[in-house]
Structure 1
Amino acid sequence: MARKRIILRVIVLFLTIFLHFSVSLSESEADILVKFKESLENTGALSNWNNNISPCKGDDENWVGIFCWNGTVWGLQLENMGLGGTIDMEALTKLPNLRTMSFMNNNFEGPLPNLTLISGLKSIYLSNNKFSGEIPSNAFNGMLYLKKVHLANNQFSGPIPASLAGLPKLIELMLENNQFDGEIPMFAQDRMRNFNVSHNQLVGEIPLSLNNFSASAFDGNRDLCGVPLASCSSPDQLTIGTIIMVAILVAAALAALVVVVIILRRRTQPPQQLAGAVAAGAAVFQQGEKKANAVDLDRIEQGQAGSSGSSSPEKSSRGKKSEPNMKITFLREDREKFDMADLLKASAEILGSGVFGSTYKAALNDGQMMVVKRFRYMNNVNKEEFYEHMRRLGRLNHPNLLPIVGFYYRKEEKLLVADYMERVSLAVHLHGNRSRSNSCPDWPTRLKILKGVVKGLLYLYNELPSLTAPHGHLKSSNVLLDRSYTPLLTDYGLVPVVNPEQAQEHMISYKSPEYKTSGRITKRTDIWSLGILIIETLTGKFPSNFLQQGKSSDTNVAAWVESVTGDDGDMEVFDADMDRTENAEGEMMKLLKIGLDCCQTDADRRPDIKEVAEMIEEVKEKGS
């Protein structure tokens, strides 16, 4: 009898457990998501989330903000909805096929949600919210399928979680504009494609596995060093005043040394020569002080300075100075004149550091905001040729060209001065800090930008017919944007004045298939660069494989194009962060096809610039 009672209890217990799981399994995805919605605030945008209709019908979505596959929910895209409250991860664990979640551009606060509850996640986007606090080091443990993590533009603090570096499939990590501190963990080099930790409080040396990324991925961390930033062995973040003081002290030490030598030798010198020697020692100090005060912007890179060179004023007569090396040659008459002394007194901010030199934003006393770009690798061209070419470029005038306001000439290096553009470059908006002030451009804006780029390029072809590649260095970072997102091409027409060896190593035209096969560029080389730019703008993918320093391979180009476009023309090729107008897909595919035509390996099969301009002008924001 006792044995029967035990068996009966086991059966009852089994049935209880079975019924519990049966009830859980019977809970529909609609019920799960409605319960999840209860944890959110300001859910007006989710008004069609209710139990009256299933979230998915096959691969089609019945609810807003849902991605469906085979009748089940595999993704949430709840962006730009003003949502707040709590992200109930426990409720979402009941969605067995959930693989991606995006809550970008909302008002969520507090600590990072417990993402490990959904170990099958492949991507998580939480940028542009108000999350804060330190993220535990094990916050990503066990997330073996996670590929993309976007936490930018929040208020996270503390070290970057070490568990991120242990994710076997991580390819994108965006952590910019937070308050992370400590050192950067060691990430695997072979898999990371997009990485940004700029504008945090990180310290120490950048891991070797990350030095293939540009300096913009690390900017804004005062105590971070190593490639691609300044060497860790160099003095960091010196001010202009500090540099000048050090130079003055060195000059004073040299003067003191001269005086000591004079005193030691005074017994062997005639008395009448002593005063002249002491005066010479004092002159050493004075000349050193002049050199220190003539430190110019082209000697300051990322808060550091090199030798003062020969930029000091030359003495023309007693008590008077002439300053031939401090003069800026202006190419436009509609600008207020200033000189290098004004730039020295201006507050300066480094905007970036490229292969040719650094770029600075200078705020002059009268309120003008100018950009000063330092160019190395132009010392093979003589002064007359350089002046003539700059005046030729200075005569160019088009709404889609950034005019060169003036230049400063020295044999070793040159400065070009231009107007400052508030929205910086297209590259920043496609790949950089997608903050509230630099939002990701939508489809109409990207189309407008590309149409303007083509108009500017067509103008260059018409006005610079003698140049084989009228632009020569066309890329997204050389497409600047004004307040209304009008594109302005910069760094154009510089092939004739850049040293040939550096031009071949660094300039985009020399990465083209024709240069690799024949050692020359053609009239359609800029068309190839334009095609790459079109594909990059539509897909949001950076063509890093073949634009790396010293690389030039059409195989890399083909691999990149194939990786971003696929073989079947799937709409997934387009940037997921790009908002689209209704019925725009056909026009987007039309523009993508133009980009692919421009990228053909055989230069003769590419359309010419007039054909490209006509084809792109026919592309509309939406189809009929």
Structure 2
Amino acid sequence: MAAPSRFLLPLSFFSLIFHLLLLSHGYENPDLQALLAFKSASDTYGKLSTWNSSTDLCTWSGVSCFQNRVSRLVLENLYLCGSFEPLTALTQLRVLSLKRNRLSGPIPSLANFTALKLLFLSYNEFSGDFPASITNLSRLYRLDLSHNNLSGSIPASVNHLTHLLTLRLDGNGFSGHIPALNLPDLQDFNVTGNRLSGEVPKSLSAFPESAFGQNPSLCGPPLQLCKDIVADPSKPGSEGAIASPLMPRGNAPTTVSSSPSSMPGNEAISSTKPKTKHESSSTKISPFALIAIIVGDVLVLALISLLLYWYFWRNYSAKLKEGKSSKLLESEKIVYSSSPYPAQSGLERGKMVFFEGVKRFELEDLLRASAEMLGKGGFGTAYKAVLDDGNVVAVKRLKDAQIGGKREFEQHMEVLGKLRHPNIVSLRAYYFAREEKLLVYDYMPNGSLFWLLHGNRGPGRTPLDWTTRLKIAAGAARGLAFIHNSCKGLKLTHGNIKSTNILLDKTGNAHVSDFGLSIFASPTSAAAPRSNGYRAPEALDGRKHTQKSDVYSFGVLLLELLTGKCPSLVDSSISGSGSGYGGVVDLPRWVQSVVREEWTAEVFDLELMRYKDIEEEMVGLLQIAITCTAAAPDQRPRMNHVVKMIEEIRGVEVSPGHDSLDSESPSLSEDTCGASQ
């Protein structure tokens, strides 16, 4: 019996220490008591069974923490009742969703929720007026109070919520006019099923009719026009109200003057006075005369059009016969000159060189193809060319490249032309002449990442969702990693990673384009000041571009995906982070300043705020981007490692030691690699 008692004291001591640690942990967290008080008052059905003071509150169901403080609380469809006032003590809350419960009474003051971004209180039994404290939540993006018993007017102070993307007030009892809301980012708005009246503000008229339904006294676009609204509010009794259906339209109560000439009926009497024969005949036009006038006008216009057409066609035909084609046509339609250099004796014409497995065509086929300009880059202009047989290719016309000689050019193209991978744009052929160099690539029909991110940011835009952004990031990483590992002897680099060089095929897969052309950059352009925000610090000093420089550029690309901002056009003043940088700063520096001040959520694109349960993935990708944009090259990861980290976020396993990363290229021998050195 002595032996067990000998172990009993240490066991009891450790048990006591364990409980004291738990108690001290709960005491240190100021959010614990607020959550327990809410559970005690509202959880009548015992749905919050995991909420126990003996466990870490950050592991409780529906609770997420940031730096040991509750930042996200999602308690939906749990039959919670009463008031949620105890939760207003959670001062670090950023997301609060209490949808589909039985919470009731007035919405308590939310003044403590200074960091709140998303608020969902729909499908409850809240009553009372629109909570005034909500209009002070300046960081709010989503506000959903729909399907409650709220009443009163919608305050104009909603305009204080300048970041608001969603405003749902449908299914309540709000009355009065809709205030003139000036919320430039508002995308989701609904006030159906209330008692609102008057005219829909012009600032909201672009929303569909379904956003205003079941409000019988509302009018104006997109609803029926407000024909029955008295136009002159200065008249007694008008007050801008809708006229009675028993009152003749357009007539309002009028004060009658003592002068007989101002009686209301006098105007009507004078207007019905019979007109003389002369007055009648001077204003009436017979139908035959009207038809004759119209036919005459049409004939005159047709004659003038024919004369103009004949005149201009004659001049144009004459120019064609003289061999002087229009410069406008030359720039828009005739993309590739049939004579790539001035006709001189003794000069040989260049030829098209095709790579293995490519359907061949002649240079003349390319010159005859209808062409459409896709964009201009650092080394020339890219065009979409539709050949006579229906095939579509992309052609890059090199203009600003510094090419030493034909042999050097051909050797380098031989290396690039053998690279095949699902995430790069394959080089299919090239053409070399003294005054003309053409590169022929696969055509990518879905444009560039730049356009998807920054194009058409106005109404009607389809935002780039998070899953697609992550897929593009993974595909681009795979393509760049393959380029880095395709030729060990050369250590190929891309040299110009940016969102305009990430193209998408018809299924939305990312392809890296324009790789390997940085070797033709002139020394002046390589040492030029930062122009696009993607260049690594060491590349600005005139040093040779390396694979680690590519990694930096790719990190900036990831930041562009996460923030929705152009790399060189970030205004530090709009973040409210107090970063201390005035005006425009580069994207990595802006992101680092915001993260350093622990406002990480401020970094992310507003268009991503609509998606739930992606915060962890976004933060994970942000950490990868920050690592890639480290100032020192040796602190940046290799692209193989970057691929693995991104695929881990996506939940995709990458086979270790698979350096080729799904290569489809023919084997590149060391001789081939060395030929281009």
| TM-score, normalising length: structure 2 | 0.49
1:378 aligns with 2:401: yes
Contact 1:443 1:579 (C-alpha < 8 Å) held by counterparts: no
Q: Secondary structure at the match of 2:374?
A: strand
In structure 2, C-alpha distance between the alignment counterparts of 1:507 and 1:98, rounded to whole Å: 35
Deviations along 1:518-567, whole A, 9 cap, x unmatched? 73433311111111111111111110259xxxxxxx97455343467563
AA aligned to 2:502 is V
- CA gap of 1:502–1:54, structure 2 versus 1, over 3 A, is farther
Partner residue of 1:526 out of 550, 555, 558: 550
Does 2:338 correspond to 1:336?
no
Aligned to 2:349: 324
1:93 maps onto 2:165 in alignment? no
8 Å Cα contact 1:587-1:621 kept in structure 2: no
Match for residue 632 of structure 2 among 599, 602, 614 = 602
CA–CA distance in structure 2, aligned partners of residues 615 and 423 of structure 1? 27
1:611 equivalent in structure 2: 641
The reply to whether residue 353 of structure 1 matches residue 360 of structure 2 is: no
Of 481, 484, 500, 1:477 maps to 500
Pairwise mapping of residues 441-480 of structure 1 onto structure 2 (< 5 A)?
441-467=464-490, 470-480=493-503
Sort the Cα spacing of 1:364 and 1:540 in 2 relative to 1 into closer, same or farther, 3 A.
Answer: same
Name the CA shift for 1:53/1:497 in 2 (closer, same or farther; >3 Å): farther
CA shift digits 1:10-44 (9 cap, x unpaired): xxxxxxxxxxxxxxxxxxxxxxxxxxxxxxxxxxx
The match for 1:514 among 538, 542, 558 is: 538
TM alignment of 1:570-589, pairs within 5 A: 570-578=600-608, 582-589=612-619
Whose Rg is larger? Answer: 2
SS at match of 1:378: coil
- Greater Cα shift, 399-408 or 571-580: 571-580
Q: How many residues align?
A: 391
Amino acid at match of 1:585: E
What is the alpha-carbon root mean square deviation over aligned residues? 4.8
What is the distance in 1 between the residues matched to 2:422 and 2:353? 23
Q: Distance in 2 between matches of 1:306 and 1:339?
A: 13
Distance 2:554 2:630 in 1: 11
What code does the residue aligned with 2:558 have? Answer: I
- Contact kept, 8 Å, 1:472 with 1:509, in 2: the verdict is no
In the other structure, the counterpart of 2:74 is none
Q: Are 2:386 and 1:363 aligned?
A: yes
Evaluate the alpha carbon distance shift between residue 53 and residue 405 of structure 1 in structure 2; reply closer, same or farther with a 3 A threshold.
farther
Deviation, structure 1 residue 49: 12
Matched, 1:439 2:462: yes
Write the mapping of 1:104-253 to structure 2, written as runs, cut at 5 A.
117-118=180-181, 121=183, 123-124=185-186, 249=319, 252=322
Cα–Cα, structure 1 residues 555 and 538, in superposed 2: closer, same or farther, change >3 Å? closer
Aligned pair in 2 of structure 1 residues 410, 544: CA closer, same or farther (>3 Å)?
farther
Q: Is the 8 A contact 1:508 1:529 kept in 2?
A: no
Residues 96, 380 of structure 1: CA spacing in aligned structure 2 closer, same or farther, 3 A cutoff? closer
Code of the residue aligned with 1:613 in structure 2: it is: V
Question: Is the alpha carbon distance of 1:480 and 1:328 closer, same or farther for their aligned partners in structure 2, counting shifts above 3 Å?
Answer: same
Change (3 A) 1:385 1:438: farther
Counterpart pick for 1:62 among 110, 120, 135: 120
Per-residue CA deviations over 1:567-622 (Å, capped at 9, x if unaligned) read: 31432321121367643211221110111011011112112223323322221369
Whole-Å separation in 1 of the counterparts to 2:593 and 2:178: 29
| Pairing partner for 1:568 from 577, 583, 598 | 598
Deviations 1:467-498 (A, max 9, x none): 56611111111111122321110000112233
Measured after TM superposition, the shift of residue 352 of structure 1 is 1.6
Q: How does the TM-score come out when normalised to structure 1? A: 0.52
Find the partner of 1:388 among 411, 414, 435: 411
1:117 counterpart SS class: coil
Match of 2:567 in 1: 543
Preserved CA contact (<8 Å) 2:333 2:372 = no
Structure 1 residues 477 and 54: CA distance shift in structure 2, 3 A: farther
Correspondence for 2:39:
none
Distance 1:373 1:517, change over 3 A: closer
CA distance in 2: counterparts of 1:341 and 1:53, whole angstroms: 79
Change (3 A) 1:518 1:388: closer
SS at match of 1:360: strand
Q: 1:64 to 1:485 in 2, by over 3 A?
A: farther
In the TM superposition, what is the alpha-carbon distance from 1:63 to its structure 2 partner? 3.5
Query: 1:250-269 maps to which residues of 2 (within 5 A)?
Result: 252=322
Supply the distance in 2 between the matched residues of 1:468 and 1:621 (Cα, whole angstroms): 30
Question: 1:473·1:509 contact (CA, 8 Å) conserved in 2?
Answer: no
Question: Which residue is 1:490 aligned to?
Answer: 513
Closer, same or farther: CA 476–76 of 1 in aligned 2, 3 Å: closer
How far apart are the structure 1 equivalents of 2:412 and 2:628? Answer: 29
Separation of aligned partners in 2, 1:459 and 1:594: 19
1:4-83 matches, cutoff 5 A:
58=113, 59=116, 61-63=119-121, 71-72=134-135
Residue aligning to 1:423: 446
Matched, 1:404 2:427: yes
1:350 is paired with a residue whose SS is strand
Q: Separation in 2 of the partners of 1:583 and 1:314? A: 67
Change (3 A) 1:445 1:434: same
Contact 2:453-2:564 within 8 A present in 1 as well: yes
CA shift at 1:388, angstroms? 1.4
Question: Are 1:444 and 1:580, in contact at CA under 8 Å, matched by a contact in 2?
Answer: no
Amino acid at match of 2:549: T
> Cα–Cα, structure 1 residues 411 and 251, in superposed 2: closer, same or farther, change >3 Å?
farther
Match of 1:344, as an amino acid?
A: L
Supply the distance in 1 between the matched residues of 2:431 and 2:379 (Cα, whole angstroms). 16
C-alpha contact (below 8 Å) 1:332/1:406 kept by paired residues: no
- Greater displacement, 339-348 / 54-63: 54-63
Change (3 A) 1:569 1:591: farther
When structure 1 is superposed on structure 2, of 391-400 and 452-461 the one drifting more is 452-461
Residue-by-residue CA offset, 1:115-171 (whole Å, 9 max, x unaligned): 99346x4645599xxxxxxxxxxx99xxxxxxxxxxxxxxxxxxxxxxxxxxxxxxx
Separation (CA, whole Å) in 1 of partners of 2:542 and 2:432: 34
Match of 2:5 in 1: none
> 2:410 is paired with a residue of what secondary structure?
helix
Is 1:414 aligned to 2:437, yes or no? yes
Deviation, structure 1 residue 323: 8.5
Which amino acid in 2 is paired with 1:99? T
Say whether the 8 Å CA contact 1:55–1:63 is kept in structure 2. no
Q: Secondary structure at the match of 2:606?
A: coil
CA gap 1:305/1:564 in 2 versus in 1, 3 angstroms: farther
**Can you list the C-alpha shifts for 1:347-406, whole angstroms capped at 9, x where unaligned?**
222222233322211222222121112221224321111111111101001111110111
* Partner Cα separation in structure 1 for residue 498 and residue 612 of structure 2: 29
Q: Report Cα offsets for 1:183-223 as digits up to 9, x if no partner.
A: xxxxxxxxxxxxxxxxxxxxxxxxxxxxxxxxxxxxxxxxx
- 3-state SS of paired residue (2:617): helix
The letter for the 2-side match of 1:62 is: F
